[in-house]
Amino acid sequence: MNSSLAVVLASLVVTARLAAGAKCDPLPTLQISDVRTTLIGDTLLKDRVIDGTAFKDSDPLRFAVVRLTSGTKLVQRTTTDAQGHFLLDKLALGRYTLSFEGMGSFSIEVTPPRFSQQFYYNFSSRHGCLSWGETSD
């Protein structure tokens, strides 16, 4: 096989893999409705939070910038730690975009509380397709 034909075949294989990986299902908006309570002295504080971890292709998204925006306004900014964990707190009700540097963006809606348990959120990208999940304590 000549080298030109080998390059063309390799290019077709890579293109086919990229095209196959490009078909991602659209994600529904993640609704955040839980409230974290903290007792400080005699005061019970209630706070809406996104306590989450981000992964890219099964590896923690380490030291990545995380932005929470409302329209074009930056609401909060933080950075994931070595395990991909991050925390956003003091969230007001509303619709947001949660963006991860090097991974992508998710639609978020913070709603009034419906549950008494605390949720932990996982955000991931596998082969370019985004997904999210939640677990409770």
Calpha distance 26→13 (Å, rounded): 25
Over residues 61-88, mean pLDDT: 97
pTM for this prediction: 0.77
Label residue 91 by pLDDT band (50, 70, 90).
Answer: very high
Q: What separation in angstroms does the CA of 13 have from each of 4, 6, 17, 53, 132?
A: 14, 11, 6, 33, 29
For residues 28-67, b (16+ Cβ closer than 10 Å) or e, as one string? eebebebbeeeeeeeeeeeebbbbbbbbbeeebbeebebb
Label residue 56 by pLDDT band (50, 70, 90).
Answer: very high
pLDDT per residue over 1-51, tens digit each? 443 433 333 332 332 333 344 589 899 999 988 777 777 788 777 788 899
**The length of the chain, given as a count of residues:** 137
Q: Which pair of tokens denotes residue 97?
A: 């975009």
**pLDDT at residue number 22:** 58
Better-scored residue on pLDDT, 86 or 43: 86
**pLDDT at residue number 137:** 74
**pLDDT at residue number 113:** 79
Going along the chain from its start, the domains and CATH numbers come out as 25-136 (2.60.40.10)
Closest C-alpha among 49, 46, 48, 28 to residue 38: 46
CB 103 within 8 A of CB 56: yes
pLDDT per residue over 93-121, tens digit each? 999 999 999 999 999 999 987 766 788 99
